[in-house]
Structure 1
Amino acid sequence: MAAVATKPASSESEKILKLQSAVAGLNQISESEKFGCINLVSRYLSGDAQQIEWAKIKTPTDKVVVPYETLAPPSDDLSEIKKLLDKLVVLKLNGGLGTTMGCTGPKSVIEVRNGLTFLDLIVIQIENLNTKYGCNVPLLLMNSFNTHDDTLKIVEKYSNSNIIIHTFNQSQYPRLVVEDFMPLPCKGNAGKDGWYPPGHGDVFPSLLNSGKLDALLSQGKEYVFIANSDNLGAIVDLKILNHLIQNQNEYCMEVTPKTLADVKGGTLISYEGRVQLLEIAQVPDEHVNEFKSIEKFKIFNTNNLWVNLKAIKRLVESDALKMEIIPNPKEVDGFKVLQLETAAGAAIRFFDQAIGINVPRSRFLPVKATSDLLLVQSDLYTLVDGFVIRSKTRANPANPSIELGPEFKKVGNFLSRFKSIPSIIELDSLKVSGDVWFGAGVALKGQVTIAAKPGEKLEIPDGAVIENKVIKSFEDI
C-alpha cells in the first residue's frame, strides 16, 4: 500500500519553496537531477513514510520466494542459450570508493586475486559468456561523480575485448544543511563535499535519464542484472534468467539464508498481498530482536537484483518508484548536513509479479574489508575463468569467521603483513590483534587467536601450523 502523503505544513512548504529556488540556481546539475532532489526532499518533509503494521507481516510462501533448486534448467541448445543471453544486460554498481580499505579511486580496482581487480574479473566472466555462446551481453557501470573520471581511464584497457562497456553517472544531489534545509553548495562549499550520490535506488531514474535505458530497449534487451561490484558471487545465472522470462516476473531479488553475521540485513516479507523488503530501520524498537532472530526471518537480501527494463521505464516515467527514504546525517565543514538516499531493493513492491529466489550462499561473496580479502586470496578459493570457486575439500559449509585488528585495515598494510596468505581450509575462526606478521606457508586450523602484547612485534614463522590455540608470544607457537 502506497503511503498517503500528508500536505506539508506551511513552514515545510516555505522550506520547499526556498529550496526550489536555491536548487534552480545550481548550474552543476541537470534539470532531472534538480527535479529528483526536490521530489525526494518534499516526500521526506511531508512525512511520506510507509508505517509497517507488525501484525500484518506474513512469511512469504515458496511461490513468492522461490527455492533455487526448484528452478527448471534452461535448454542445452546453444542457440537457445544465445537467444536468452542476448536479452540480458549486466549492471554493476560502481559508485563506491575504496577509502575504508585505505585505497584511493573506485573500489572495483582493488586487486582481489592473482593480480586481477574486481573489474578485471567481471570483464573476464562476461567475455567468456560472449565467446562461448556467441551472444552480446554488454556491461554497464553506474558510477558516481566520485568514481567517474577514474573509471573512464580504467575501462580503456578493455577496448580490445569482445564486450561493450557503457558507463553512466548516477545522480548528484546537494547535501542539505539541517538548520534550514538549504543546499550546502549555496553556503560557499563549491567543492565535491557539497554533493552526494543518493544511494543505489537511484539506478532506475539514472538509467532512464542517461539515455541508456532507451538505447538498450531499442537493441532488444529485456532484463538487467544489477549487483554490487564487490560481490564476487554475483555472476550471470541462466536458470534465474530463464525462470524470469518464462514467468514474466518484472523483478527478482536474490536472497540467501541468514547466518549470525547477517542479522542486520534486509529481508523479504509478504505484506498486504505484495512482496516487499523489510529493513532494520523500519522495524519498531520492540521488535528489533525478533527481526534479528534467524528463526522468524530466515533470509536476507544479497542486493543481486534482476529487473525488467520495460517495467523500469514505465515506473520511472510515471514517478511511481517511491522507495523508503534513508536519512544519512553527516558533518561537513562544521555544518550538520543530511543526505537523503534510497535503496534499489526497496523498489520490489512496485513491480508486477515480483519474486525472491532463495539462492545458494556462494552467490553472496562480498569483499567489504581486508578480512574478506584474506578469505578470497586463500586456498579456500580458486580462480577459474574469472569465477571465484570455493574448494570442495572444506567440510564445513560455512566460511571461517575472521577478525583482523586495525593494523590490517588498509590493503597495503594487510598485504605487507603476510609473506603468503595462510592455509585456512580447516579454519573455523581467527582473531588477530596487535603488531602481528605472518611468514610463508603458515596453516591455521580450528579456532585461532593471535594477540601481540602492546608494544611488541609478534612474528609467526614460516611453515607454522597453528591449531586451536591462543598465541600471545613466540613461545606459544
Structure 2
Amino acid sequence: MTGLGDTKTQSLLDFTHVTDMSMEKQSSQKLDKLIMHVDPNARMTESELSGFLKLYGRYMKERSSKTEIDWNLIKQPDTSILRPYSELPEVGEDAVGVLSKLAVLKLNGGLGTSMGCTGPKSVIEVRGDTTFLDLTVQQIETLNNKYPKANVPLLLMNSFSTDEDTAKIIEKYTDTNVSISTFQQSRYPRILKDTFEPCANPDTAYNSGDWYPPGHGDVFAALMNSGLIDTLIAQGKEYVFVSNVDNLGATVDANILSLLIQEKVDYCMELTDKTRADIKGGTLISYDGKVKLLEVAQVPSKYLDEFKSVKKFKVFNTNNIWVNLKSLKNRFESLELDIIPNPKTVGGKKVLQLETAIGAAMSFFENPIGVNVPRSRFLPVKTTSDLLLVQSNLYTMKSGSLVTNPARQFASVPVIKLGPEFKKVGSYLERFGSTPDVLELDHLTVSGDVAFGSSVSLKGTVIIVANPGSKIMIPKGAVLENKVITGNLHILDH
C-alpha cells in the first residue's frame, strides 16, 4: 500500500497508516482515536474497522492499476454451469432431510424512504395488511409445520438504520413456529470524493449521514463476525439461502437445495431470462476458465450494446444465492470481492461509498453453478409500479407465497410504469380506488395527475398522460383496452 504516488491520497494514507505491517497494530488505536463520537452507538467494532481498512486499502491500490476485462476471454456458460430449472430432479420423499440442512437469510437493511415510508422497507404492506416480513415468516412457518423435523431458521441481516426497529417488529412472531435471529451488517464511514478522507472523524459529533452499510457483499463478513455461522453449523445446517427481503418470489426451493447437496456445490446463483427491462442486470459468464458474474460496470464502453443484448446475454442475476456454510467459513479470508465505488451527495458533500456485491463471490468457490429459474422467482418490489403488480389479481396467495393466477393467459408479466405522482405509497393509494384488473394487461404507462376509480379493468396496452395543469379521472368500472388517453378527462361516476 505504500508508494502510491498520488498526492490526493496522502491525507488519507496519513489518516489510516494502511500498510501490510501496521494495519493490525493500528486497528486498536484507530478504534479509540478515530471513531470516538458523541453517540456511543456510532463506534465501529474492531472487525468493522479492520474490514474498512482492508477495503479502503484495496480500493486505493486498485484504482491506480485497474485492469480492464478482456472481452475475448468471455464465453457463454454451458449447461454444466447454468442448469435449466426444468431439468432439476424432484426432491421427493427426502424433503425433510434436505430442508433440515437449510437456513434462510433475508437482506433487511433497506429503508422504505424511496417509497415515502418510514422504518424498514420490510414492514411495507404489500398484500392487504400483510408486510414483506409477514410473508417471509408465513412461508417458513408453512415449511416447518409441514416438515416438523426440518426446523428451518430465519436470519435477518439488518443495517444500523433498520436494526432497532426490526428488533421491536419481530416480537409479534414470538408464537410462530419459526426461530428468528437478527444480526447487523457493518457500518463504514463514507469517503470524501475530493480528498479521499473519511467523512466521520473524531472532531465532529456523530452524524448518520457520515456512515453507510457497505452493500450486500458484506453478508459474509457479518455472518462470520456475528458468530452465527458457527451456531448454524453446530445445528447441522449446511446451506444458507440468501435473498432480498423485498423479492416476493424468493421462496425456499427444495429441488434446488437437493441438487446442491447431491453434487456438493459450494455456491449457487439463481438467474432468470432477461427482458428489455433487465438489460443492465449482471450475467453469468465463463471467463478465462472460471465461472464469474459480469456486471455492467465492468463492461468496456465499446461493448455496452453487446452486453445489453438479450440475444447474447440471455439471463441476469436475481440475487437469490445459495452458499455452503463450511465452505464459506474456510474461504472467508480469501474473499476479495470486486469493489463498487458508489458516488453520492450527502449534506452537500460529494462522497464515495465503497461497496461489494454478494454475486461477486461466485468465482472464489469451488464447483459454483447457476440455475436458470422461472421469472416467478424474481418479484422484487422497488417501486410503486412493482407494488401495483404484486397487489393485483395477477397473483394469488398460498401459504405466504405469491402464485401466478391460472386465469392469466400469457407467460409474460405486464410492464407497468407509473409516473412520479405515484412514487410515494401514500399518493399511490390515494390515486387508486381499488387495484385494477390486470389479467389481460400487457403494458401500462401513466403520467401526470391521473386517478382511477374502483373496479377498473386494463387490457392490452394502455397509455394515460395528463397534460400539465390537467387531470384525468378514470371512472369506476371502466374497461380500457388498447387505449391512449391524453389531455384532460374527468368523468363522474354514476
What TM-score comes out, normalization by structure 1 length? 0.95
Q: Deviations over 1:37-96 (max 9, x none)?
A: 000011010116553110000101100011111111112x2xx32121111000000001
Match of 1:366 in 2: 380
Match of 2:82 in 1: 65
Matched residue SS, 1:253: strand
Instruction: Please tell me whether the aligned partners of residues 171 and 198 of structure 1 are also in contact (alpha carbons under 8 angstroms).
Output: yes
| AA at the equivalent of 1:15 | L
Question: Does 1:438 find its partner at 2:470?
Answer: no
Between the aligned residues of both structures, percent identity stands at 56
How far apart are the structure 1 equivalents of 2:316 and 2:327? 24
Name the count of aligned residue pairs: 468
Instruction: Please tell me whether the aligned partners of residues 19 and 183 of structure 1 are also in contact (alpha carbons under 8 angstroms).
Output: no
* Compared CA separation, residues 475 and 335, structure 1 to 2 (3 A): closer
Q: Deviations over 1:209-247 (max 9, x none)?
A: 011111111111100000000000000001000000000
Ranges of 4+ aligned residues in structure 1 off by more than 4 Å: 10-14, 20-23
Match of 1:113 in 2: 127
Equivalent of residue 422 in structure 1, options 436, 449, 457 = 436
Instruction: Please tell me whether the aligned partners of residues 16 and 38 of structure 1 are also in contact (alpha carbons under 8 angstroms).
Output: no
Equivalent of residue 87 in structure 1, options 59, 80, 101 = 101
Instruction: Please tell me whether the aligned partners of residues 11 and 196 of structure 2 are also in contact (alpha carbons under 8 angstroms).
Output: no
Question: Does 1:128 find its partner at 2:125?
Answer: no
Instruction: Please tell me whether the aligned partners of residues 105 and 241 of structure 2 are also in contact (alpha carbons under 8 angstroms).
Output: yes
- CA shift, 1:13, in A, is 7.1
Note the 1:393-404 alignment, pairs <5 A: 393-404=407-418
- CA shift, 1:476, in A, is 9.6
Matched residue SS, 1:125: helix
Equivalent of residue 257 in structure 1, options 273, 291, 299 = 273
How far apart are the structure 1 equivalents of 2:14 and 2:215? 24
- Which stretches in structure 2 are left out of the alignment for 5+ residues? 18-25, 37-42
Equivalent of residue 352 in structure 1, options 366, 385, 388 = 366
Match of 2:22 in 1: none
How far apart are the structure 1 equivalents of 2:60 and 2:424? 39
Matched residue SS, 1:383: strand
Match of 1:45 in 2: 60
* Compared CA separation, residues 41 and 302, structure 1 to 2 (3 A): same
Aligned Cα RMSD in Å? 1.8
How far apart are the structure 2 equivalents of 1:13 and 1:342? 24
Question: Does 1:226 find its partner at 2:242?
Answer: yes
Q: Deviations over 1:138-163 (max 9, x none)?
A: 00000000111110011000011110
Equivalent of residue 227 in structure 2, options 211, 216, 234 = 211
How far apart are the structure 2 equivalents of 1:407 and 1:13? 46
- CA shift, 1:458, in A, is 1.9
How far apart are the structure 2 equivalents of 1:278 and 1:174? 27
Matched residue SS, 1:129: helix
Q: Deviations over 1:168-212 (max 9, x none)?
A: 000000111223322211162511111000000000011000111
How far apart are the structure 1 equivalents of 2:14 and 2:236? 42
- Which stretches in structure 1 are left out of the alignment for 5+ residues? none
Match of 1:16 in 2: 13
* Compared CA separation, residues 7 and 383, structure 1 to 2 (3 A): farther
Match of 2:21 in 1: none
Matched residue SS, 2:260: helix
Question: Does 1:155 find its partner at 2:170?
Answer: yes
| AA at the equivalent of 1:399 | V
| AA at the equivalent of 2:58 | R
| AA at the equivalent of 1:71 | L
- CA shift, 1:10, in A, is 7.3
How far apart are the structure 2 equivalents of 1:143 and 1:417? 32
Match of 2:484 in 1: 470
Question: Does 1:175 find its partner at 2:190?
Answer: yes
Matched residue SS, 2:261: helix
How far apart are the structure 2 equivalents of 1:413 and 1:240? 40
